[in-house]
Amino acid sequence: MSLSTILLIALALAVDAFAVALAAGISLPWVGKRHTFRLAWHFGLFQGGMNILGWGAGLTIRSHIERFDHWLAFALLAYVGGRMIVEALHIKDADEANRDPTRGRTLVMLSIATSIDSLAVGLSFAVLKIDVWLPAFIIGITASLLTGIGLHLGRLLGAASRFGSKVEIAGGLLLIAIGLRLLYEHGVF
């Protein structure tokens, strides 16, 4: 897998983290170094870690699914991308928007929620026989960087929360496009 494809996947996976960080930046009264570190560290760690967990799970079943692995990878990417699009269109309630995402249970739950997609992509990497270590590192770093940027951008823009759903939709479409590209590379189209 090319570095440019890995970067595109990392960007697509990081849009959930970016959107959550953007909303957090808007809702927090101020954003300090600790807020940024906690949110960026956890989101990046979970993105990279879930990718490795998905890859490990995929290694155990790879030999059983090699004949249709490209279809499975496409289905996973399309599912994740489609789910990102649906979630972007979902209206969030007031309680969900007012939690401090840089502390406690909320931080852990958001870290898991924003990285579930990475688990599925890690499974796809195993199915496609792609070594996970470099992609997981790039995915984690990208998520951390975009989280920090989103947190501070949200603080600066105040009313920028309307952009969050558009970014998530773009990320979902990008994952679906990557899945279609995999099918094309395996001669389906």
pLDDT score, position 169: 78
In the predicted structure, residue 25 carries a pLDDT above the cut 50: yes
Confidence of residue 160 (pLDDT cuts 50, 70, 90): very low
pLDDT score, position 96: 52
Confidence of residue 103 (pLDDT cuts 50, 70, 90): confident
Counted domains in the chain: 1
Task: Specify the pTM.
Answer: 0.72
Q: Average pLDDT in the 58-76 region? A: 79
Which domain covers residue 157, as residue numbers?
3-185
In the predicted structure, residue 188 carries a pLDDT above the cut 90: no
Q: Which residues contact 105 (CB under 8 A, 6 or more apart)?
A: none
